[in-house]
């Protein structure tokens, strides 16, 4: 059976690791997530759909912004991920959040039933991103917006780009084929605009937003990657033991270029696409 990139997030061990990385993700993507909500026009009282919500950090941002009179539905294929999101909402007293297991490419929801749809760092992992965006367009109300965040080009994100390049070289692993779901599948110029246009949106725009990843040191980055459900760890599993040790050592050496007085600080970039129904 073929395992798709999104399938790993259903596994219990992976969910545990993903949950432990919430603070780091919020530090890296918090400001960009707020911009995504701005572009989606999430307001007080909005009905918001969060597609492929995972453990729901951006779900909670939307719920806080929209307020107690609003409704925020978090969907994902992973029940375990949604359980984390639901518990976080409960602890925070956000009674306006609901979670439901759902496939992004086949949303079991009424047409024209939401004021805004968001999707953070997931669209590039779907087998058919245009189909998923078409579904998001179907369920949002006329003249309302769908905003998604994806990673920009690999070379603009050295925190992962450097490890990927090293692992591929040592393992003689070819890069993903065009159209194959993976972390940077929609990072090339024009790729996200094209998917939005194929899904039938109007007034499509794509915004490049800088992010920064901060940790105490490059060694801490390596520890985080080794202990997380990262794409780096997944690609690393294709190397033999000797190759893996060489790879980790070279990755740490190259990532040290981002160490300074404030520790490890690596630049990065995400793209936020938005379109109107």
Residue 246, domain member (yes or no): no
Name the residue among 117, 100, 106, 128 with its Cα closest to residue 5: 128
Residue 122's region, left for phi above 0, alpha for psi from -120 to 50, else beta, is: alpha
Residue 272, domain member (yes or no): yes
Cα atoms in the 13 Å half-sphere on the side-chain side of 49: 30
Residue 169, domain member (yes or no): no
Residue 186, domain member (yes or no): yes
- What is the per-residue burial (b if ≥16 Cβ within 10 Å, else e) of 206-244? bbebebebebeebeebbebbeebbbbbebbbeebeeeeb
Q: What is the mean pLDDT of the chain?
A: 91
* CATH number, domain containing residue 26: 3.40.50.150
Dig out the tokens for 175 from the structure: 């890069």
Residue 74, domain member (yes or no): yes
Residue 21, domain member (yes or no): yes
Distance of alpha carbon 159 from alpha carbon 98, whole angstroms: 34
**Rounded to two decimals, what is the model's pTM?**
0.90
Distance of alpha carbon 256 from alpha carbon 248, whole angstroms: 12
| Count of Cβ atoms closer than 10 Å to residue 143 Cβ | 10
Distance of alpha carbon 204 from alpha carbon 193, whole angstroms: 7
Per-residue confidence (pLDDT) for residue 227, from 0 to 100: 80
Query: 101 in helix, strand or coil?
Result: strand
| pLDDT per residue as tens digits for the range 240-264 | 999 999 999 999 999 999 999 999 9
Per-residue confidence (pLDDT) for residue 1, from 0 to 100: 25
| pLDDT per residue as tens digits for the range 117-166 | 999 999 999 999 999 999 999 999 999 999 999 999 999 999 999 999 99
Per-residue confidence (pLDDT) for residue 5, from 0 to 100: 44
Note down the domain range covering 47. Answer: 5-153+178-213+266-276
| Count of Cβ atoms closer than 10 Å to residue 127 Cβ | 15
Total domains, the chain: 1
Strand duo 140-151 + 259-260: pairing: unpaired
- Given a cut of 80, whether residue 9 has pLDDT beyond it is no
The answer to whether the CB of 154 falls within 8 A of the CB of 175 is no
End-to-end CA, the chain: 37
| pLDDT per residue as tens digits for the range 47-69 | 999 999 999 999 999 999 999 99
Mean pLDDT for 162-188 is 94
Residue 256, domain member (yes or no): no
Whole-Å CA distances, 140 to 47, 133, 151, 201, 224: 9, 11, 24, 11, 37
pLDDT above 70: percentage of residues in the chain: 90
| pLDDT per residue as tens digits for the range 80-119 | 999 999 999 999 999 999 999 999 999 999 999 999 999 9
- Given a cut of 60, whether residue 168 has pLDDT beyond it is yes
- The three-state DSSP-derived secondary structure of 27-61 is HHHHHHHHHHHHHCCCCCCCEEEECCCCCCHHHHH
């Amino acid at each position: 059976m073929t395992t798709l990139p999104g399938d790993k997030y259903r596994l219990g061990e992976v969910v545990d690791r993903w949950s432990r990385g919430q603070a780091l993700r919020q530090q890296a993507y918090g400001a960009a997530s707020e911009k995504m909500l701005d572009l989606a026009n999430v307001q007080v009282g909005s009905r918001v759909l969060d597609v492929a919500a995972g453990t729901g950090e951006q779900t909670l941002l939307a719920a806080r912004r929209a307020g107690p009179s609003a409704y925020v539905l978090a969907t994902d294929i992973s029940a375990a991920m949604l359980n984390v999101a639901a518990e976080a909402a409960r602890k925070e007293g956000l009674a306006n959040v609901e979670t439901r297991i759902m496939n992004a490419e086949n949303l079991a929801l009424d047409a024209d039933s939401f004021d805004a749809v968001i999707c953070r760092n997931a669209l590039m992992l779907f087998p058919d991103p245009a189909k998923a965006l078409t579904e998001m367009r179907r369920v949002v109300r006329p003249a309302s917006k769908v905003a998604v965040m994806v990673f920009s080009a690999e070379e603009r994100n050295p925190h992962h780009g450097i490890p990927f390049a090293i692992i591929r070289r040592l393992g003689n692993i070819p890069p993903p084929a065009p159209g194959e779901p993976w972390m940077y599948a929609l990072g090339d110029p024009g790729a996200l605009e094209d998917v939005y246009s194929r899904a039938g949106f109007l007034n499509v725009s794509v915004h490049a937003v800088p992010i920064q990843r901060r940790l105490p040191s490059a060694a801490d980055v390596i520890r985080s990657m080794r202990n997380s459900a990262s794409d780096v760890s997944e690609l690393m599993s294709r190397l033999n033991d000797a190759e893996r040790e060489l790879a980790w050592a070279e990755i740490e050496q190259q990532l040290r270029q981002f160490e300074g007085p404030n520790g490890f600080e690596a630049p990065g970039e995400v793209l936020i696409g938005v379109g109107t129904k």
